[in-house]
Structures are given as C-alpha cells and as structure tokens.
Structure 1
C-alpha cells in the first residue's frame, strides 16, 4: 500500500473536529437565506436593477448546486480534508471581497466565487463526519447534529440577516463569514484527520456532464421563477439539463471509476432518503420565501422582527434533530420520518389559511412550531440512512449527491411555487394579491409534503 492510500489515525479530539465541520456547514447554509433580508438595502446601495438583484441569491445557488457532485468526487480522490480546507479558504476570501464590493458586478462575482468554495467544502463536511466517527452510535449522533445545522441554517440565516442588517449594514452579512472561516482554517488541519485516499482517476467526461447538466437544471428553474414557465430560456435549459443528466447517468455505467457510483442507490432506504432530500426542501421553500414577504409587507415587520419571527422554527428543528438518535434506535426510521412529514404538511396547511388580517400568534407561530418540529424529525434521519452505511471510498460522492438533491429541490421548489402564486394572484392587486398567491403556494407545498410522507412508508425498519 502506498503512502497516499494509507488511512491516517482518526482525530484525537473528534469533538473539536465535529465542531469545526458543523461551523463550516452552518456557514454554507446561512448564505442561502442570510442575504434575503438585506436585499432592499443592497439594491439601494449598489444600484441593482430589479432583475439583477435576484442574482445576488441565484449566482451562489447556481454555482453551488452545479458543482456539488464534482466537489464530492474531488474530495474522494485528492483528500477530503484538503479539498474541504481549500473550499473554506475560497469561501472566506470571497465573503470578505463581497463585503467590500462597491458595485453590483463585484458583488455578483464574489457570490459566484462563494459558490465555488461552498461546492468544494460542502460534500466533504458530511464525508469527514463518517470517517471521523467509526462507532455507529457516535456517527448517528454526529450526523443528526449535522442535519440540525443544515436544516436550521435556513431559518437562522433569516434571523442573523435581520440582526446584522438592522444593527449594522448589509455588508456585515458578508463579513460574518470571515471569522468563522478563519477559525476553521486555523484549527482544521490540526484536529480534522485526513482519511485515506483510494487509488482512482477523475471521470472527466462524467464531471463535464454532471456539472453542465445540474447547472442547466438549476439555471432553468431560476429563470422559470424569474420570468415564468413560458420563457424559452427556462424551457430549453431544463430540456438540455435533463438530457445531460440522463447522459451522465448512462456514462456512470460505462467507466471503471464513476464520479457517482450508482450502487449508492441500490439500497432501498438510501434511495428513499435521496428522494426525500429532494421533495422535502421543495415543499419547505415556500415557508421561508413567502412568510418573509407576509411578515414584512402584510404585517409591517422590520428586518429585525422578521428574523426573530423565524426563531420558533429554528429551535424546533434543532431540538428535534437532537432527539433523533434515540428515536431511531427505539423506533426505526419509518415512524420518525412519517411523523415529521405529517407535521410539516399540517404546518403548511395551517399557513394556507392566512389572510390579510391574520396576526402572528394565531396565524404564524403555531405553523412555525409544527414545521420546525416536523423538519427536525423528517430530515435528520435521512443523513443517517444515506451516510451511515455508505462505503468509505464513496463517502464524498454520496455527500455530494445528497446536497445536490437538496439544492435542486430548493431551486425547483422556488420556481414552481412562485409560478403557482403568480397564477393564483392574477387579476388582484396589493396585499390581497400577495396573500392569495402565497396561500395557493402553501397548499401546493402541503401536497408535496404528503408525497414525502408516502416515500417514508417505503423505509425498512433498521
């Protein structure tokens, strides 16, 4: 065995290693939503057009989602810790540059580079957890914490965005990543062990097909959300993305070292877990996107108050994710995920009853709690099902596929739900149009959440 394939010892301080990995994951997930609350001030300061402003969010999502599969495989081939730390370094520098940006073009460029760093670091976070924790119970606990960070990061991003925007400036939303990134870089090499690498080659054809295919799908969904499903650019991007993804899957059956080993989907629980990691974010995007608008434009909340309004959801996600290891060992995955998806659906049905006169406590607080608790139960077991038994040599690819499903689900969810809302609101005006469209989107989300429940019934007890 050559020196580069020998596994190094597991980190002597796995608790510190886990804290560093979770810090990185929280940082990456925050950036999906933390900019939302700051967008009006960014537009005023840097002179964005209404259409251009959406690319403050979309540039990050497009690059992040399009390169996740490639980032996961690069970690498997060239060292997960190395690729992880390089990704964190790129993300941190880009965050600093974004905070200093004095034009719309520079900010968009910084967001693109952030996406590059996130795509390199993201898949390796979950793969490093599986290699750091060899004991099955410890691994389940660590993966549950990871899921809590990943799921609650969306809500925490809105809270943090509101705090920073209200108290400081929108630039602090970018700068906040810098100290986190510096800490991970300063201690990561010391406390995070480098797993052994497997002798393999990079599947260049697969890398091109996967990156261009997923990128085209994400771009198509983004364009559909911006301009509607009648836009030729959206339709052709989706068609091209679908063809490229099919070609990528076919290519993975023809190469000796596939970028995404299809054996990952041979296990029924793992395949169902991937499916729900697509459907779950698709259904929950409406909660973040439309409730933020409802609280600010209908209820008249400021940025700070809007952020704190999502606190019950974040607390529910984190608290229930912490309880998942014990529940999984006692009940198995099926009842845990089924219960979680039913609670998510109930919360979405509840907010679908909102009106222009609804207050926070009777109309929003209860659904927030249901959706938070439901998300904690529905998503935390999926990380365990997917990563708990994956072969070590495929951990990076498995983590990249997991986060790719999550990104595509979130992006598709936004495109579909914005279209539903626009159709329902046609012919109306003002807050009446907003609430009518929003409640139609919530109803659609609740139906999708029920589909995740149906998939959960296919889990085997284990």
Structure 2
C-alpha cells in the first residue's frame, strides 16, 4: 500500500476513487429527483389497472413528496449522528426495496405505502449523499467540479422524468417506472463500500426528538395545505386549519431549537450568509422549476397535442443545455466566486421564462420553444450548481448532513409553494378569460403563460436576494 493511499484512508470519508464515488452519489440523487416526476405519465395506466380514482391518484405523488420533504432535516441529522456512508447505503437499500414493492402493487393502498417508504428512504440518502460529496472534495476547486457533475446529473433527473415515464409506460407498462430504480440501486450498494471509506459518526449522544417531531409535523401540514388548496379552495376550512397548524408547529420548532442542548437544526448555522443566501435561492429555484416543468408538460400535451413521448423528447435540448453549462460553472465560480454566477444564472432563467411567456397556442417547437427552453436549461444548470455550492459553503464536517438536508428541504418546500401559488394564478387567469368568451386553447395558453411569468418573478427575486445576502467576492 502506498503512502498516498495510507494517508487518504486516514482521512474520514476520503478515498482514492472519489471521482468514481461521485458518480455513485450523483446517480442516487438522480433517482430521487427522477422519481418525483417519472410517475406522472404513468398515473392514468395505474388508475386503470388498480381501479384507483382521480383523487387517490394524486396521493401517489403526495405520498412520496410528504415524507421526503418532511424528513430531510432529520435524515441529515441522522447521517451526521450515525455516519454519512451508513445512512446513504440504508437509504438506497430502502429506496430499492420500496421500488420493487411499488412495481408489484396489487392495490392502491399497497402502492401508497410503497411510495411513502420511497420518500422516507430518499430523505435519508439525499442529505447523506451531498454530505459525502462535501467531505470527499474538501479542496474548493475540486468541490466546484464535483458539484458541477452532481448538479448536471441531478438536474437532468427533473427533465428526464417525462421522457422516461412516457417511454417505459408505453413500452413496458407502468410497473417499469418503479423497477428501473432497482438495478441502479443494487449497483450503488455493491460499489459504494469499495469507493468510500467509512466515516466516523458524530460525538453527539442524543437526537432532538421534540424538534424533529415539530418540524416534521409542521412541514407535513404546510405541504398538505398547499397541495390541496387548489382542489378545496384557499379559503376552505381544511386549508386554513392546516396552514394555521403549520405556522404554530414551525414557530414551536424555532422556539425549541433556541433552547435545545443538541438542536436538530442549530439556528446559528444561518449566521453563515452563504448558507442563508444559498437556501433562499434554492427555495425560489425549486418554486420556479417545479411550476415550470408541470406547466410546460401540460401545455405541450393539452394545447399543442404532443403525446407523452413527444413531450419528453422536446425537453432534451433543455437537458442538454443544463448538462453542458453545469460542466462550465466550476471554472466560472473559480474566477468570479459563487455570488455573481448564481445571480447571473437566475437572471438567465428568468429571461428564458419571460421568452416562453410569449409562446402562442399554436406554437411551433423550433420557432417558439427551442430558444427559450435552451436558455432556461443554461440558467438552471448554473443555478443548481452554484446555489448548492453556496448553501454548503463553510459548513463544518459535523454539520455537513444538516446543511445538505437543509438545502434539499428548501428546494422541496419551494417547489410545493411555487406550484401551489402559480397554478392557482394560472387557473384564475384561465377562468377569467373563459368567462369573457375567449376560446379555450387561448385561455389555457394565457393561464400557462402566467405560470411562466410568475416563475420568472421568483427567479428575479432570487437573484436580488443573492446579491444582497451573499458576501461580495470570494474566489474559490
């Protein structure tokens, strides 16, 4: 054994195969992101075969998102407490087993339980994966490159869901959208122990269970309120009660964290302006992108009459631009720091969304959609990478899991808030135009256009916050 290898193995989490390890970590994150969208195309087939009604089909998505978003902070803390590699492997194993269970579901209830286990497992593996990345790549330049690869692979997961969902469902049936996770999960579990050395658990002896209980309940109440608001009404008793409960529970969480001996989320972490600015940016990025992918997919299929596969293929240029720019961002960050590339990426994202706002009801892809979606891909690639880097900058190793769980939580809650608010705005716009006698295609197109414009406003707000909150120039 060489002296270099001995020194690497002496470092917690270090490995001479760290770039190969990065691929395994990024693939796991790809599965987590992919599974939030790939199921959408399969929902009609699931409903038909399992005899599941429309309302319950919505819970096939919610059953995954609720535990995922609600448990991310606890998952990050658990990985700090018991070891990032251990929790990562446990999360991938649980995700793979739950994917098999979902694929062989014989009833709607069975499927919902499997989806909930998938979401819980994702909440364990996602923060552990990002924490492992930050520990494996301690050098700022190497970390920037690693985050570029991470952001590219994970970002493509969002765009690939519609495409893969359409191909798999039409060719192999709805079960295949779950079974596709299994070989990737098995490969990751088999290789990670050889690629990443075991890291030492934290010296913390206890977990903040009161804090964990209140934040899980608070986030669950918030996500449930926002997810159901469009269906039952923003002023309905259900929405108001759940929203009030979320405010009370999350306020209680902050109160408890100020007094806990070993808090789940030490509020002192927000003294780091990079963490604060990065999380605010990722919250707004999550809101803009979740609403964008939903509205763009429905616009293409309902207004332009693309089938599922055409809708997926039409997003390949966006995914290609995202992948390409994510590889360039590390060099830009090295030259200019994180603040300006992140703000510029958000403004490019906003510009693409504003361009998309003008797409008509009879849009031609090459003329009206190709340009704005590629510009959006450039903005997303830069924003995902630089935003994630900002959110974990300057965090101590013992809080790497917490910071990673926090950035994932910010993005997930941002997505929930964004799609709830912007789709409500879209529906109000469409209904108003229909009442005025505007033809349905034009009214629907105008409604979707307001989603794109609202998402652009979120991106512009994010750029403004980044420039105010994150310190001026800090070359990496």
For structure 1, the 5+ residue unaligned runs are 1-5
Q: Is the 8 A contact 2:27 2:154 kept in 1?
A: no
Q: Is the 8 A contact 1:252 1:262 kept in 2?
A: yes
SS at match of 2:465: helix
1:387 to 387, 392, 397: 392
Equivalent residue, structure 2, for 1:170: 174
Instruction: Go from structure 1 to structure 2 and tell me whether the alpha carbon gap of 1:78 and 1:448 turns closer, same or farther (over 3 Å shift).
Output: same
2:134 to 130, 134, 141: 130
Query: Whole-Å Cα distance in 2 between the matches of residues 457 and 379 of structure 1?
Result: 16
2:274 to 269, 273, 278: 269
| 1:142-186, Cα deviation, whole Å (9 max, x unpaired) | 122222233221101122112212222111111100001101111
SS at match of 1:357: coil
Q: Is the 8 A contact 2:322 2:379 kept in 1?
A: yes
Equivalent residue, structure 1, for 2:119: 115
| 1:312-359, Cα deviation, whole Å (9 max, x unpaired) | 111111211111110011112232122211111111112222222112
Instruction: Go from structure 1 to structure 2 and tell me whether the alpha carbon gap of 1:283 and 1:53 turns closer, same or farther (over 3 Å shift).
Output: same
**2:447 is aligned with 1:443:** no
**2:457 is aligned with 1:457:** no
| 1:92-140, Cα deviation, whole Å (9 max, x unpaired) | 0110111111222211111111001101111101001112223222122
Instruction: Go from structure 1 to structure 2 and tell me whether the alpha carbon gap of 1:453 and 1:8 turns closer, same or farther (over 3 Å shift).
Output: closer
**Of 184-193 and 172-181, the range deviating more from structure 2:** 184-193
SS at match of 1:348: helix
**Of 175-184 and 186-195, the range deviating more from structure 2:** 186-195
Equivalent residue, structure 1, for 2:378: 373
Q: Is the 8 A contact 2:292 2:451 kept in 1?
A: no
For structure 2, the 5+ residue unaligned runs are 1-9
**Of 9-18 and 203-212, the range deviating more from structure 2:** 9-18
**Of 126-135 and 109-118, the range deviating more from structure 2:** 126-135
Query: Whole-Å Cα distance in 2 between the matches of residues 299 and 261 of structure 1?
Result: 49
TM-score, length of structure 2 as denominator length? 0.93
Equivalent residue, structure 1, for 2:7: none
Equivalent residue, structure 2, for 1:47: 51
Deviation of 1:8 (Å): 4.1
Q: Is the 8 A contact 1:22 1:149 kept in 2?
A: yes
Q: How does 1:318-357 map to 2 (within 5 A)?
A: 318-357=323-362
**Of 222-231 and 265-274, the range deviating more from structure 2:** 222-231
Equivalent residue, structure 2, for 1:3: none
Q: Is the 8 A contact 1:316 1:376 kept in 2?
A: yes
Q: Is the 8 A contact 2:67 2:119 kept in 1?
A: yes
Deviation of 1:235 (Å): 2.1
Query: Whole-Å Cα distance in 2 between the matches of residues 320 and 258 of structure 1?
Result: 38
Deviation of 1:194 (Å): 2.3
| 1:182-221, Cα deviation, whole Å (9 max, x unpaired) | 0111112222222222211111111111111111111111
Query: Whole-Å Cα distance in 2 between the matches of residues 145 and 235 of structure 1?
Result: 42
Q: Is the 8 A contact 1:131 1:195 kept in 2?
A: no
Equivalent residue, structure 1, for 2:5: none
Deviation of 1:7 (Å): 6.1
Q: How does 1:187-198 map to 2 (within 5 A)?
A: 187-198=191-202
Q: How does 1:357-368 map to 2 (within 5 A)?
A: 357-368=362-373
1:71 to 71, 75, 81: 75
Q: How does 1:102-251 map to 2 (within 5 A)?
A: 102-200=106-204, 201-251=206-256
**2:319 is aligned with 1:282:** no
Name the Cα RMSD after superposition: 1.6
Instruction: Go from structure 1 to structure 2 and tell me whether the alpha carbon gap of 1:300 and 1:188 turns closer, same or farther (over 3 Å shift).
Output: same
2:86 to 79, 82, 86: 82
| 1:259-315, Cα deviation, whole Å (9 max, x unpaired) | 112222112222111101101111222220011111111111111111111111111
Q: How does 1:4-15 map to 2 (within 5 A)?
A: 8=12, 10-15=14-19
Deviation of 1:372 (Å): 0.4
Q: Is the 8 A contact 1:283 1:448 kept in 2?
A: yes
Equivalent residue, structure 1, for 2:431: 426
Deviation of 1:9 (Å): 5.7
Q: Is the 8 A contact 2:274 2:393 kept in 1?
A: no
